[in-house]
Amino acid sequence: MSGLGGLNKTTGGIVIAAVQSQLFRVDTPAQLAVATEHVCSLVRRARREYPAVDLVLFPEYCIHGLSMSTDPDIMCTMDGPEVAAFRAVCAEQKVWGVFSIMEKNTLKETSPWNVGITIDSDGEVVDYYRKMHPWVPVEPWYPGNRGVSVFKGPGGVCMSLIICHDGMFPEMAREAAYRGAEVLLRTAGYTAPIRSSWELTNRANAAANLMYTASVALAGSDGTTWRSMGEAMFVGPEGETLEQSGNGVPDHIVACEVRADEVRRRRREWGVENNLFQLGHRGYVAVAGGARDCPYTYMRDLVAGRYTQAEDAEVVIRDGTVCGFEAPTEAFLDEMVHK
């Protein structure tokens, strides 16, 4: 059930509106300001079209476009005018919002952060997330070093925000669910060749973790080089598609009601396919409490810093030089924050 595409809201439910916002070409601060105002106008429009909406979800690159520019003149800061505008419009419209910025990086100026921020209906930033898995070799962003974020969203619903390529790693969705997320938000700038993988992983992430996924990608052309696929998609906790646009129309809004109690009930009461629980309690029919070991070599190797796949020596593309970026020379600066 989607509440007639978000037009109705059940007691205990929340309505999320996913906006397939227009892809812009942004090379200058003036163009950045225009894109920011456009996003703010769409918050107001979402509020008008869906009076019951609780959260408005915008795609990755919603104000920066797909040029992958790291020009310091168009990078954002958390105390800059772009974030201030987003905070103001959320407070004005009394609605939550999720937005994307490319943020200046104090660790390495040439490699900004790809950041998603969640703002509540009072205009306060309640979640700040750095993209963990930039889409290599295409993206120049510094890899996120704060872990997967989990936060309480509207109505007390537990949420997590991941960005684009993050969703191709099942470990990201599992980490979010393990820490209590009932809704996984995914924002993207993907172009059409990724559509099939996008749809598959949105459904798989939901079913494997008994959670909702709410995902949205940019739409349209920047008038020069790029065209994004433009798709909003909502999936229920059994992997069933609840709402999906598939129309590629810029600035189209797709809404859906999600009910956290449906997630909580399944995670609490299910036996068959309660996989989030069963991962850590293998074979509990035969073994008291189930096996609590870690039988996965890749997990143990990753923790030990020796992750090496079977074909590692044969991997050809190992940096961004194929996309015109210089090969990096510095090691990763880990500021991992465990909450």
Residue 211 DSSP SS3: coil
Place of tokens 């919603």: 62
pLDDT value of residue 314: 97
* In a domain? residue 256: yes
pLDDT at position 16 over 60:
yes
Catalytic residues: 60, 131, 164
List beta partners, residue 185. Answer: 161, 214
Q: Could you report how far apart the first and last alpha carbons of the chain are, in Å?
A: 34
Strands (DSSP E) contained in 153-268 are 158-163, 183-188, 212-217, 219-221, 227-229, 232-235, 241-244, 252-259
Q: Is residue 167 part of a domain?
A: yes
What pLDDT digit, counting tens, does each position of 46-74 carry?
A: 999 999 999 999 999 999 999 999 999 99
User: Is 327 among the domain residues?
Assistant: no
Q: What is the mean pLDDT of the chain?
A: 95
Q: What is the mean pLDDT of residues 18-30?
A: 97
Q: What is the pLDDT of residues 276-305, one digit of tens each?
A: 999 999 999 999 999 999 999 999 999 999
Residue 6: pLDDT over 90: no
Across the range 85-111, mean pLDDT stands at 96
Strands 219-221 and 158-163: unpaired
**247-278 b/e with 16+ CB inside 10 Å = b?**
ebebbbbbbbbbbbebbeebbeeeeeeeebee
Is residue 250 situated within a structural domain?
Answer: yes
pLDDT at position 338? 38
In-domain check, residue 335: no
Helix (H) or strand (E) holding 18: strand 13-20
Task: Fill in the amino acid letter for 60.
Answer: E
Each residue's pLDDT tens digit, 108-156: 989 999 999 999 999 999 999 999 999 999 999 999 999 999 999 999 9
Full residue range of the structural domain in which residue 32 is found: 3-272
Q: Identify whether the C-beta of residue 96 lies closer than 8 Å to the C-beta of residue 57.
A: no
* pLDDT for residue 337 is more than 70: no
Query: Per-residue pLDDT averaged across 103-111, rounded?
Result: 92
Q: Supply the pLDDT for residue 71.
A: 97
pLDDT tens, position by position, 211-228: 999 999 999 999 888 899
Say yes or no to pLDDT of 334 above 90: no
What is the structure's pLDDT at 336?
A: 61
pLDDT of res. 286: 98
329 lies in some domain:
no
pLDDT confidence of residue 247: 83
pLDDT at 339 exceeding the cut of 80: no
Q: What is the CATH number of the domain that holds 7?
A: 3.60.110.10
The total number of structural domains that make up the chain = 1
| Cα distance between residue 37 and residue 91, in whole Å | 15
In-domain check, residue 80? yes
Answer yes or no: is pLDDT of 333 > 90: no
pLDDT band for position 335 (cuts 50, 70, 90): low
Q: What is the pLDDT of residue 189?
A: 96
Give the number of C-alpha atoms closer than 13 A to the C-alpha of residue 277, restricted to the C-beta side: 15
Tens digit of each residue's pLDDT (9 = 90 or more) over 171-208: 999 999 999 999 999 999 999 999 999 999 999 999 99
The answer to whether residue 338 is domain-embedded is no
Contact 189, 164 (CB under 8 A): yes
Please compute the mean of the pLDDT values over residues 324-333 and round it to a whole number. Answer: 92
Percentage with pLDDT > 90 across the chain: 91
- On the question of pLDDT at 8 being above 90, the answer is no
What local confidence, expressed as pLDDT, does residue 244 receive? 96
